[in-house]
Chains A and B, each alone.
Chain A
Amino acid sequence: MREDYSDMEMMAIACARRITNQDVVFCGTGLPLLAAMTAKMTHAPHCVVFFETGALDPQLEELPLSVADSRVMQGASHLGGLADAFAFMQNRFTGPRVVGILSGAQIDAYGNLNSTVIGDYECPTVRLPGSGGACDVASFVGHTFVFMRHERRRFVERLDYVTSPGWLDGGDSRQRRGLPRGGPEAVFTTLGVMRFDPQTRRMYLSTYYENSSPEEVQDNTGFEIEVKDAKVEKPPTDDELNVLRTKVDPLHLILQ
């Protein structure tokens, strides 16, 4: 077992591997951006990185710390505003090409996300930042990836608040509710990669990292999760780690 890389590095790399040259990647701040930039600097140089603030395909010579960081503006193909960015994602032609990368404080078995409150909405125990563009992205891009720390308090049977719609109640409920397309495809956690059953839309363990195990995944998940067909995720290659550490985040602004 290798001990020379962190959970966050593994998560970013596991996600980066699933980004292709054809994708337009919608990025939030933090890990999503590390994943997209790593993909772009390894196997997917033609993927397009895109931000809700309206910046499309910037050069990203330095790592932005927010989607409104001036670093997302430099050398872009187009700079608009929020109206352009969300219209691009809701649009029936361009929306399906977008892969949205999100995160949240809580996730349920159907990939719905909470980033608004812990506790009751009217008198919350903890107030979180709120949707921002997450609900919009989750509502209408082609598919979404999610980053989560794998803890029981985060993988819950029932969300305190549904900020961003996933597969809702499973089955065809998302489509029946009127959401035009999309839905969560994979969840990258500190323990492995979860995917969703094509019929029931319930989360299952697809791969686990070499330093984790299916038992550890079940123990840290607050609902029943199918783990029987899970395989081991390939550990980071030297090339992937090297790009992530020396080109994407050389100053360790996100990676600690």
Chain B
Amino acid sequence: MSSRLMSASNAVREFVHPGACISIGGFTINRNPMAIVHEIIRQRIGQLHLVMHSGSQAMDLLVGAGLVDLLEIAYGANGRLAPTCVRFRRAVQEGTLRIEDYSNYQMTLRFMAGAMGAPFLPTYSGLGSDIIEKWGFDSRFRERTPEIPLRKAVVVEDPFSREEQHVVLVPAVNPDVTIIHVQKAAEDGTTRIEGLTFADIEQARASKHVIVSCEELVSPNELRQDPWCNSLPHVIVDAVVHQPFGAHPTACYRYYDYDMKHLEEYREIAADDERFRDYLEHYVLGAHAFDEYLRLIGDEQLDRLRASLGLGYARRDLL
């Protein structure tokens, strides 16, 4: 068995390059691959083309650090903890990145098409909306940018229907690397997500390379006892990084809850350029590795976030 176990810094050095098309997994306040994203920021890998569906903390940090040039996305918010992600909002309003809007299903279908090796997939979603009509990346930009599809989306007649019926086609996306954080992985690359998978599986399968960070490193034999419970086979995973609390301050089902205190503080800090720079300096650039960031959060706070017995989250009356 060849081992794919690596440090976060080696995984990023090997698989995330300036200008790369990257995709990050999770959904708003759950399972953001924060450890790997911190490492990308520490190595200052920029000019990234980020493709995802519902982004929050990982996306907002990358955008706030100025590392994203192109963003294809459906949503940038943290539920009740940030109605719109703060650095994301600012970057779009100030025009410091180019953005293209899709819906969550359209992005899922784009990853699914990429995973299937199909050029596009059809849906009814978006007929009559500006998601189809208004393009963030105009035709000229698309023509001169080979990594972007020539069109955002196309409305065609359903060729199989007896009636005149319109359908939207959305183009496949094949990122250079997808980064996800999961509950369990083995050093051979076998990966198990517990709870909702969001679109992590489609995102990983669409990508040339996959980096998985995990709460628990387990033996391949353990995961092969119930292989139908596994989310990704070892052959498509390039790097496995063992990082407990690797999604903090977002949640990891059955391991820990999101950190409301940290996320609420972040929302205020992110609204101020100087304080945001200090945040990056203190928590990301100033830390040599993610464990050092976790030490800044403190064991006491991390223990409070641990999932209650038999639940996937920390009971609020115990927080």
Contact = CB atoms under 8 A, between A and B. Distances in A.
Interface of A: 29-30, 52-55, 62, 65-74, 79-83, 86, 90, 116, 121-136, 139-140, 161-165, 168, 173-174, 177-180, 251, 253-254
Interface stretch (B9-17, B27-35, B235-243, B267-275): B27-35
A53 B313 CA distance: 17
A164 B129 contact: yes
A62 to B, nearest CB: 6
A139 B166 CA distance: 13
Interface stretch (B43-51, B199-207, B208-216, B283-291): B199-207
A178 B127 contact: yes
B79 A29 contact: yes
* Chain A to chain B: the 6 pairs with minimum beta-carbon distance, closest first: A66-B79, A178-B166, A132-B75, A129-B77, A86-B105, A68-B27
B61 interface: no
Contacts of A136: 103-106, 123, 125-126
A132 B80 contact: no
A81 B201 contact: yes
Interface string B216-229: 00000000000000
Contacts of B7: none
29 contacts: A29-B80, A65-B80, A66-B80, A66-B81, A68-B198, A70-B254, A70-B257, A70-B307, A74-B311, A79-B196, A79-B197, A86-B104, A127-B92, A128-B84, A130-B73, A131-B101, A132-B74, A133-B75, A133-B104, A135-B126, A135-B129, A136-B126, A139-B129, A163-B130, A165-B127, A165-B128, A168-B128, A173-B128, A180-B124
A135 to B, nearest CB: 4
A14 B275 CA distance: 42
B251 A70 contact: yes
A251 B80 CA distance: 14
Contacts of B190: none
A131 B196 contact: no
B129 A162 contact: yes
A67 B26 CA distance: 12
Interface string B70-114: 000111111111011100110011010000011111101000100
B29 A66 contact: yes
Given A81-B201, A254-B80, A52 B104 contact: yes
A137 B29 CA distance: 21
Interface secondary structure of A, over-half rule: loop
B54 interface: yes
Nearest to A134: B103
B24 to A, nearest CB: 14
B115 to A, nearest CB: 10
Contacts of A54: 196-198
A71 B205 CA distance: 27
A135 B131 contact: yes
Given A129-B76, A251-B316, A82 B129 contact: no
Contacts of A74: 311-313
B134 A62 contact: no
A66 B28 contact: yes
A120 to B, nearest CB: 10
B199 A82 contact: yes
Nearest to A159: B130
Contacts of A129: 75-77, 83-85
A141 to B, nearest CB: 11
A35 to B, nearest CB: 16
A80 B128 contact: no
Interface of B: 26-30, 53-54, 73-81, 83-85, 88-89, 92-93, 95, 101-106, 108, 112, 123-131, 133-134, 136, 155, 165-167, 195-202, 251, 253-254, 257-258, 307, 311-313, 315-316
B124 A179 contact: yes
Contacts of B106: 135-136
A73 B127 contact: no
Contacts of A135: 103, 106, 125-126, 129, 131
Nearest to B123: A90
Contacts of B313: 62, 69-71, 74
A86 B95 CA distance: 32
Contacts of A123: 95
B167 A139 contact: no
Contacts of A173: 128
A127 B131 CA distance: 15
Contacts of B89: 126-127
Given A73-B312, A80-B196, A168-B128, 13 more contacts: A29-B80, A62-B313, A66-B78, A68-B54, A70-B254, A70-B312, A73-B195, A81-B200, A127-B93, A130-B74, A130-B76, A136-B126, A161-B130
Nearest to B131: A135
A73 B104 contact: no
Nearest to B27: A68
A126 B198 contact: no
Contacts of A125: 93
B88 A127 contact: yes
B257 to A, nearest CB: 7
Interface centre among A65, A125, A140, A254 (most CB of B within 10 A): A65
B93 A133 contact: no
Contacts of B165: 178
